[in-house]
Amino acid sequence: MTGTTILAIDLGKYKCVACAYDRATTAAEFRTITTSRAEVQRLIRTAGPAAVVIEACSLAGWVHDLCGELGVPCKVANTAAEAWKYKHAKRKTDRDDALRLAQLEALGQLPEVVVPAKPVREWRALIAHRQALVGQRVAAQNRVRAVLVGQGLPAPRGAKTWTATGLAGIAQFVKPLAECGPDELWRGMLDLALTAYRQAEELVAIAEARLDQLGRADRRVRLLESVPGLGPRTAEAVVAHLDDPKRFRSGRQVAAYAGLVLPRADHQARPGRPPQAAGPVRLGDAPVQPMGAGRVREAQPGQGPPQAGGGGAGSQGPGEVLGHAAGRAAVAGRPGPGAGGRGLTTVRTRR
């Protein structure tokens, strides 16, 4: 291999397809390897490429870090870009994807995304994991209600239901499933549901304790928590997902990246302005927690997630706080200059 070689890798859960593409001759060689750190490292050392190109996916983080350790530039393609839409490909295979990565890089047309540092990626993953645990807790609460309602008993409602006193009241109906007769299996199912709730509650508490430690150590999170209506869960989600605000040129781009800006009806008609689209991050779906609240208010069954609403005059949102010191440097993966809106508005709690 030579210094003109581009190594494009289509990453898969079990197998990866690599394309060694020569810029000068446009010759392409393909190879399939097992998805593992050792195999990818061996492939990069053998190919000796000028650059490695991969798609944005759950595996991109450690591959990007590995390339950094080996001293090889790594570019991560934005798979939400126009070139990756299925309608533009007559055929879609792993080889086709790897070859397209290499060709776009050779033409200088590869749409890139920013890869955060590993601590930031781990932080984001913990936030998402905590949210998944909250979902398990809500599911267990719903199972408790369903079992009781199925027996003609009142459905527990309100926050007091899940206090020590409320749980003790529910526990009077439970019985180990192995000891239940054929006509009282519901008591055993209630016992299982209550046990699942307590386990989920404990896991959520462990995750939130660690997130609280990370938040207290981050100046940006503490700054956002000073905004009325923003609690630790929302503040950490905003900081972790926006990461470095200097990669945005304005608060409008922050809002577009966060998915809090809707397309304007007249946007297509304005010459020289690309279509506006919401970014990959959906901060509007982040849980909302008021200042001083003990727990994020979760969405109830039949309701949507907490919404990000418009603030009043003089309101200051997280996008304005984080984007205040934003520079003008262009960064790959940044929303286009056509992003509209007036920055993030104040996140309001649901009443």
Burial of 124 (C-beta count, 10 Å sphere; 0-12/13-18/19+): middle
Q: How far is CA 156 from the centre of its chain?
A: 33
CA 32, CA 3: separation in Å to the nearest integer? 22
CA distances from 236 to 115, 241, 255 (A): 18, 8, 16
Average pLDDT over residues 276-284: 46
Reported as a pLDDT band with limits 50, 70 and 90, residue 84 is low
Asked whether the predicted pLDDT for residue 152 surpasses 80, the reply is yes
Asked whether the predicted pLDDT for residue 278 surpasses 50, the reply is no
pLDDT reported for residue 328: 32
pLDDT reported for residue 130: 96
Reported as a pLDDT band with limits 50, 70 and 90, residue 247 is confident
Minimal CA–CA distance to 35: which of 100, 85, 94, 78? 94
Q: Tens of pLDDT along 304-346?
A: 333 333 333 333 444 444 443 333 333 333 333 333 333 333 3
Q: Tens of pLDDT along 166-182?
A: 999 999 999 999 999 99
Asked whether the predicted pLDDT for residue 202 surpasses 90, the reply is yes
Lowest mean pLDDT among 207-211, 279-283, 302-306: 302-306
pLDDT reported for residue 73: 94
The model carries a pTM of 0.71
Reported as a pLDDT band with limits 50, 70 and 90, residue 157 is confident
CA 249, CA 32: separation in Å to the nearest integer? 41
Higher pLDDT, 216 or 289: 216
Q: How far is CA 59 from the centre of its chain?
A: 14
How is residue 198 written in tokens? 């307590």
Asked whether the predicted pLDDT for residue 64 surpasses 70, the reply is yes
pLDDT reported for residue 88: 59
pLDDT reported for residue 327: 34
What percent of the chain shows pLDDT beyond 70? 71
Q: Tens of pLDDT along 136-150?
A: 999 999 999 999 999
Strands (E), the chain: 5-10, 15-22, 28-34, 51-55, 74-77
Higher pLDDT, 328 or 70: 70
Among all chains, which residue has been given the structure tokens 């890089």?
A: 105
What percent of the chain shows pLDDT beyond 90? 53
